[in-house]
Amino acid sequence: MTTDGRGRGGGRAFLGMPRARVGGGGRAAGEDRAAGDGRAAGDGRVAGRARAGGEDPAAFPPFPEAARAAVRDERLRANLRHATSTIRDKRARAVGELADWDRLRAAGKAVKDHTLRHLDHYLLQLEEAVTAAGGTVHWAADAAEACRVVTALVRATGEREVVKVKSMATQEIGLDEALEAAGVAAYETDLAELIVQLGRDRPSHILVPAIHRNRAEIRDLFRTEMGRWGRPAPADLDDTPAALAEAARLHLREKFLRAKVGISGANFMVAETGTLVVVESEGNGRMCLTLPETLISVVGIEKVVPTFRDLEIFLQTLPRSSTAERMNPYTTMWTGTTDGDGPSAFHLVLLDNGRTDTLADEVGRQALRCIRCSACLNVCPVYERAGGHAYGSVYPGPIGAVLTPQLRGTDSGIDASLPFASTLCGACYDVCPVAIDIPEVLVHLRERIVQGGPVTRGGVRVRIRPARGHAAERAAVRAARRLLDRPGALRAGERLLARARRLGFRPHRLPGPGRAWTETRDLPGAPAEPFRDWWARERGG
């Protein structure tokens, strides 16, 4: 990788990506902490956090800039290396236990593809089943509408605080910020999300969002911040994970016990029965799904599966891919409301927010099969080094690189840079439990960005123009073609280079039009003798 930025300012590109246009005013690269700390805004908030109505792509620097800062952060690198390698090995063992893994994977893919093909049908069936079971279904076309719906539902209860289960969809739409703006305190209750929320930070991993924080940082955060949100951490809190988990248990318990409104996402929704499924480990999910009087679930429309039986596939593949366990500690399934057990009011908010636009792309739509296991993050050499914040969205890693530019479009610097944040090594495809061919989608999106072409935005078919940033690279390729078409000139150049090498000349970059090419790649060392001279000498050509 050539991310060292040797002798260059802001423009060095990353992994084949040309210099990106800087969105949102850019920011100084090379700040001493990881990208996710962002800029301190005037009000003490961290820029780049989600805003009400969804994340603002313009608040994030393009991937190369963010990654350049992240790869210099040795603590972040060490945390990521430890975490991803640990879970990689565990996952391989858990998956290896099932002799029929490939068949489960193929069946999961087939169920999801079938559902997406008939998504309208299954959503209507789901709505009918949820309604029949005592729930109320709402539809939201985008982040702003979803936030409005949820805020109105919370206001109608008269409550000023809600407890939340970790949910990617509500992060995607910036729900916490929308509720805060409406005077409602939203408490994240997953331990890692609590760490992120107390630190006014951003999640950096789908499964373990605080993977970038180590135990000492977490202890300091708990000591200084917990008291501002509720029960303070014990004064003598140490930094063992058990002590930190205990502090979180005590801090959150008072919130669970008094909560009247819970907000969740869902891992699956079953069309035929109206059943929702939340898969979790800590029990905070059960608390939020069971104790409040009102439950509001915000779920992407792609989370529906046709039948209860279909869960037999995903309940085997998701835990093993995600936490590398045979089964996660707790799974809750509920269908509408049940008299005397759990919330007496249940609202399901079905969220589009770019999903139907993604569905319109025949190559890109496979990203909608994702079940958010995060296995692709843990095997990705780019994620392992750059960390999650560099991806500038709630969806980091390889899946984020294909999902985010489709959900948000590619107008911003960060979104246009994401499809290039990959070496195309294919490890993500190998581990994906629903067989999303992420490299295929990455290449497809790169082509779309470089050459332009038709996309669907907000339900409307439009054409995007080729990105200007790629002109220099195209010029480099044209220059190379001219050279390769002229064997005499090529041979002369090769001999000149071999002689220069003997004199100690070791260029890292090409001059002239070749320069754009070598901005993203280290130039290989020149051989002592051109191959064609060697061939002629050895084989008597």
Partner 1 sequence: MTTKDRILGRIRRAVGDARPPAAAEGGIARDYLLQHGHRTPAERVDLLAAHLAEYRARVHRADPDGLPALLGRLLAEPGARTVVVPPGLPEWWLSGTDVTRVRDEASTTAHELDRVDSVVTGCALAVAETGTLVLDGSPDQGRRRITLVPDHHVCVVRVPDQVVDSVPQALPLLDPARPLTWISGPSATSDIELDRVEGVHGPRTLDVVLLGPE
Residues 138-197 interacting with partner 1 (rule: CB under 8 A): 139-141, 145, 189-192, 195
CA 211 to mean position of chain CA atoms: 14
Q: What CA–CA distance (Å, rounded) separates 399 from 113?
A: 17
Q: Which residues are bridge partners to 349 per DSSP?
A: 138, 298
Residue in 1, 46, 58, 133 binding partner 1, rule: CB under 8 A:
133
CB of 268 to partner 1, least distance (A): 11
Residue in 316, 366, 406, 417 binding partner 1, rule: CB under 8 A:
316
Decide: is 466 part of the binding site for partner 1 (CB under 8 A).
no
Q: Considering beta carbons, is residue 171 or 356 the nearer one to partner 1?
A: 356
**Nearest C-alpha neighbor of 351 from the set 99, 191, 142:** 142
Q: Considering beta carbons, is residue 172 or 357 the nearer one to partner 1?
A: 357
- Type of residue numbered 444: H
CB of 299 to partner 1, least distance (A): 13
Decide: is 119 part of the binding site for partner 1 (CB under 8 A).
yes
Q: Considering beta carbons, is residue 461 or 478 the nearer one to partner 1?
A: 461
Binding pattern for the stretch 284-313 against partner 1, x by CB under 8 A and - elsewhere: x-xx--xx---------x----x-xxxxxx
Q: DSSP secondary-structure letter at 310? A: G
Q: Considering beta carbons, is residue 460 or 503 the nearer one to partner 1?
A: 460
3-state secondary structure of 513: helix
Cβ atoms of residues 204 and 388 within 8 Å = yes
Q: Considering beta carbons, is residue 119 or 382 the nearer one to partner 1?
A: 119
Q: What CA–CA distance (Å, rounded) separates 337 from 315?
A: 23
CB of 534 to partner 1, least distance (A): 51
Residue in 106, 443, 472, 498 binding partner 1, rule: CB under 8 A:
106
CB of 226 to partner 1, least distance (A): 15
Decide: is 357 part of the binding site for partner 1 (CB under 8 A).
yes
CB of 185 to partner 1, least distance (A): 19
For tokens 């801090």, name the residue. 251
What does the buried/exposed string (b/e) look like for 408-440 if buried means 16 or more CB atoms within 10 Å of the residue's CB? bbbebbbbbbbbbbbeeeebbbebbbbbbbbbb
The percent helix, strand, coil of the chain (3-state, each to 5) is: 50, 10, 35
Contacting partner 1 within 407-436 (CB under 8 A): none
Residue in 256, 346, 391, 429 binding partner 1, rule: CB under 8 A:
256
3-state secondary structure of 453: strand
**Do the strands 275-280 and 185-188 form a parallel or antiparallel pair, or are they unpaired?**
unpaired
CB of 165 to partner 1, least distance (A): 11
